Amino acid sequence: MITWVEGAAGSPYDIDNLPYAVVSTDATPARLGARIGDRVLDLGAAARTLRPAWAPLLDVAALNPLMAAGPRTWDEVRSWVVELLTDPALRDRVTLLGVDEVTTSLPFEVADYVDYYASEHHATNVGRIFRPDGDALLPNWKHLPVGYHGRAGSIVVSGTAVHRPAGQRKAPADDAPTYGPSLRLDIEAELGFVVGRSLPLGERVGTAELADTVFGVTGVNDWSARDLQAWEYVPLGPNLAKSFATSVSAWVTPLAALAAARVDVPGQEVAVLPYLQESGPNGVPSGYDVDVEVELNGVVVARPPYRTMYWSPAQMLAHLTVNGASLRVGDFFASGTISGPEQDQRGSFLELSWGGREPFAVGEEQRTFLEDGDEVVLRYSAPGALGGRIGLGEVRGRILPTR
Amino acid sequence: MITWVEGAAGSPYDIDNLPYAVVSTDATPARLGARIGDRVLDLGAAARTLRPAWAPLLDVAALNPLMAAGPRTWDEVRSWVVELLTDPALRDRVTLLGVDEVTTSLPFEVADYVDYYASEHHATNVGRIFRPDGDALLPNWKHLPVGYHGRAGSIVVSGTAVHRPAGQRKAPADDAPTYGPSLRLDIEAELGFVVGRSLPLGERVGTAELADTVFGVTGVNDWSARDLQAWEYVPLGPNLAKSFATSVSAWVTPLAALAAARVDVPGQEVAVLPYLQESGPNGVPSGYDVDVEVELNGVVVARPPYRTMYWSPAQMLAHLTVNGASLRVGDFFASGTISGPEQDQRGSFLELSWGGREPFAVGEEQRTFLEDGDEVVLRYSAPGALGGRIGLGEVRGRILPTR
């Protein structure tokens, strides 16, 4: 199948990708669009004219109605989009917008947001930085995917500027805490999973149900104020250090588009309890071969590889509901910082600068944490079904001074 | 002002109280109601016939539209309800339902849920139980109200049965974690605060803005699986130990009804940073003289006094947004377990049984944690403006076996 859209074949947004976003222009209110090459198929308009039954799913300003329709409909809509973009007879029946002409907004209404801590390299680095004399990994880490609830209301779409958070910090040598703008503002490069299914309280989702439960993935930058975090986090975990903003990509890549990116997780040497067991094609849990680029002010400073993550998406999902927690369409869980084994594969400045003690090069500059005016862009890509690489949504954000 | 509703004058639901709920009957869909005595004023019907402009706020199945209308409208609606219930000329123009005839549902759509840890007695007891050789309070505790985000999607209305959660636990002596129904299922008797205001990212709410920001209060039972919690909670805080269910009262008491219950907090000996300073009428932060009764299977087992809390509601609110986190209408924060200085004032079974080591009497029985079939009722009351006591909503829940 070859798309009739000029310049799209062979690009990172070929017919094997087709991510969704909520798009608007001066002339058109927000509705769903699907990216193809440098263009956006107006799904709202296409539904109104060609498939009115789907207008309530597609001519709307969030992915939630489509997600709520369930995985069979996800497949049907995706097949229809392929048909629209490959059948030359249909090219005059649909509207394409330029990807640079549209404004994107938050692609889904977020229900609950859970952030995991699924990279062994990241958790080990953080443990070594903060507890140099103790065990790098805590005893529970290889038995369950450690996670916590973040603030759903401060999730913002890529491109939204982020005000530097203020709050309390206290270094061990200080007598008392002080208040002010965070001095150790950081990024966390993560991958996010959007849940398109609801489940009543008291039930559970198994590891085999990932594809029926997760609609798609996003890029995530879980901005983190390390000085606030160090002071506040015992015993109930991070709160204000994270709750000021979490950026997600405008584009949600359907899980179906990542089929060719499936890989085995690197190996879980500690046997897990049955509810966390996942038998992928090779008898081990499945991850994704997603590459991430972390760019600071135009310079790539790290390339975290998602394929090195310890816990799989299906395991994170199964853990989320094993206690009987309900699911809502729009629930969102993220992987936690992606860090690989190499120094230039670390997904946070905390790790890249080893706790701020070893500045790292950004072009001519030496940097530790974020400065006002900095712009961070996270770029994601993965193998696609057509043999090339597909582009996932980027996550862009500039730091503004504390208000 | 005396209400014309029979039996209401002098009751805990007199004209100085007037809590709101979402009510329905077989004949009427869900809409707002206000309680008076043993009756419920049908606010949806009253708005339709007497104040059509308010029907979009009152003839709806959640408090959110009324809350979003802002504090002036909260006052106007409350004054109107008083007028309806005190002017005998209006008694034939409104509909009263029996409080036992109506079904209540979750009174507001929950945006984000933050749970604090604001009782010094509770935090000290927990510290002593879990860290008998260390300092009972951690170093940050008197400098900031410690809190974390809970799962908004598993907040349920009073009366909803709660399935015992399952999950991982590992006692220090065990070689490896095991999976199964929680063996240490607990309650946490708390008071909850419903936010009726939205605020953009990057701004802050000050301690003087409580009454313009918080619409009302609810009772809260933050069910907790202590065995799951002990194993999972480092380093990111409680997750599955709490996320399976949190029960809130069906009735939301307007903050205005608690004016006569205002008290000084017991005294904060450690000076706090300016953003947490609150000068109540006596130069110290303000709490509320709310009494709580914890009833297990019909026996009162504890009477936690909210007036003994260390951190005030205004301080918890100011902390929530000091980093620039946004607010949404429907945000909800809870006090954390309310425990007083006395043994019979502890708001959790963990404390009442001192970590399960000292069973406590429940009638003829000795108990530690919750058993299947147990029913817990939390009852709340406070001084009202008319000199008596007003009843706040009760929080009722029965434990069902793990599904």
> CATH: 3.30.70.930, 3.40.50.150, 2.30.30.60, 2.30.30.230. Which one for A20-104?
2.30.30.230
Parts of chain A belonging to CATH 2.30.30.230? 20-104
pLDDT tier for residue A210 given thresholds of 50, 70 and 90: very high
Q: CB distance B403–A235 less than 8 Å?
A: no
Report chain B residues whose CB lies below 8 A from the CB of A328: 153
pLDDT one-digit tens code per residue, B320-346? 999 999 999 999 999 999 999 999 999
- For B:151-170, CB contacts with A below 8 A are 151-154, 156, 160, 162-163, 165-168, 170
Cβ A118 vs Cβ A318: under 8 Å: no
How far is B376 from B293, CA to CA, in rounded Å? 10
Question: What's the half-sphere exposure (Cβ side, CA atoms, 13 Å) at B170?
Answer: 15
The verdict on whether omega for the bond into residue B235 sits within 30 degrees of 0, i.e. cis, is yes
Parts of chain B belonging to CATH 2.30.30.230? 20-105
Q: CB distance A238–B243 less than 8 Å?
A: no
Place of tokens 């395991």: A315
Parts of chain B belonging to CATH 3.90.850.10? 113-400
pLDDT tier for residue B66 given thresholds of 50, 70 and 90: very high
Sequential DSSP letters for B151-202: -GGGEEETT--EEPPEEEE--TT-SS-EEEE-SSEE--EEEEEEE---B-TT
Report chain A residues whose CB lies below 8 A from the CB of B162: 201
pLDDT tier for residue B230 given thresholds of 50, 70 and 90: very high
Q: CB distance A325–B275 less than 8 Å?
A: no
Element (H, E) at A167: strand A166-169
pLDDT tier for residue A389 given thresholds of 50, 70 and 90: very high
Is residue A122 flagged as an active site residue? yes
What local confidence, expressed as pLDDT, does residue B161 receive?
Answer: 98
For chain A, state the CA radius of gyration: 21
Best probe of the B interface among A207, A239, A350, by most B CBs < 10 A, is A239
Please calculate the CA angle B199-B238-B123 and round it to the nearest 5 degrees.
90
How far is A314 from A144, CA to CA, in rounded Å? 12
- Across chain B, what does the average pLDDT equal? 97
Best probe of the A interface among B323, B332, B350, by most A CBs < 10 A, is B323
Q: CB distance A237–B238 less than 8 Å?
A: yes
What local confidence, expressed as pLDDT, does residue B300 receive?
Answer: 98
Cβ A82 vs Cβ A43: under 8 Å: no
pLDDT over 90 at B131, yes or no: no
Mean pLDDT of the A365-383 span:
98
What local confidence, expressed as pLDDT, does residue B158 receive?
Answer: 98
Nearest to B327 by CA among B114, B60, B150: B114
* Residues forming beta bridges with residue A40, ordered by sequence position: A35, A97
pLDDT one-digit tens code per residue, A75-124? 999 999 999 999 999 999 999 999 999 999 999 999 999 999 999 999 99
Strands annotated E in B227-285: 246-248, 253-254, 262-264
Place of tokens 């986190």: B325
Tell me the nearest-neighbour CA distance from A240 into chain B, angstroms. 6
Question: What's the half-sphere exposure (Cβ side, CA atoms, 13 Å) at A11?
Answer: 17
pLDDT tier for residue B401 given thresholds of 50, 70 and 90: very high
Q: CB distance A163–B114 less than 8 Å?
A: no
- For A:42-81, CB contacts with B below 8 A are none
Return the CATH number of the domain spanning residue range B20-105. 2.30.30.230
- Going by CATH, does the domain composed of B113-400 fall within 3.20.20.70? no
Cβ B272 vs Cβ B312: under 8 Å: no
How far is B153 from B290, CA to CA, in rounded Å? 27
What local confidence, expressed as pLDDT, does residue B172 receive?
Answer: 85
pLDDT tier for residue A1 given thresholds of 50, 70 and 90: confident
What is the ipTM for the molecules in this complex? 0.97
Mean pLDDT of the B354-362 span:
97
pLDDT one-digit tens code per residue, B140-192? 999 999 999 999 999 999 999 999 999 999 988 999 999 999 999 999 999 99
Q: How buried is residue A165: exposed, middle or buried, by Cβ count under 10 Å (0-12/13-18/19+)?
A: buried
Mean pLDDT of the A37-41 span:
98
Q: Which of A122, A143, A149, A163 is catalytic?
A: A122
Question: Which DSSP state fits A123?
Answer: H
Cβ A385 vs Cβ A9: under 8 Å: no
What local confidence, expressed as pLDDT, does residue A307 receive?
Answer: 98
Mean pLDDT of the A211-229 span:
98
Report chain A residues whose CB lies below 8 A from the CB of B154: 201, 325-326
Mean pLDDT of the A180-209 span:
97
Say yes or no: A219 contacts chain B, CB-CB below 8 A.
no
pLDDT tier for residue B130 given thresholds of 50, 70 and 90: confident
Nearest to B206 by CA among B274, B112, B264: B274
pLDDT over 90 at B295, yes or no: yes
CB atoms within 10 A of CB B179: 14
Cβ A162 vs Cβ A399: under 8 Å: yes
pLDDT tier for residue A130 given thresholds of 50, 70 and 90: confident
pLDDT tier for residue B103 given thresholds of 50, 70 and 90: very high
Best probe of the A interface among B233, B236, B315, by most A CBs < 10 A, is B236
What local confidence, expressed as pLDDT, does residue B134 receive?
Answer: 87
- For B:229-248, CB contacts with A below 8 A are 231-241, 243-245
pLDDT one-digit tens code per residue, A332-352? 999 999 999 999 999 999 999
Nearest to B186 by CA among B376, B30, B350: B350
How far is B160 from A107, CA to CA, in rounded Å? 33
Mean pLDDT of the B79-100 span:
97
Mean pLDDT of the A62-69 span:
98
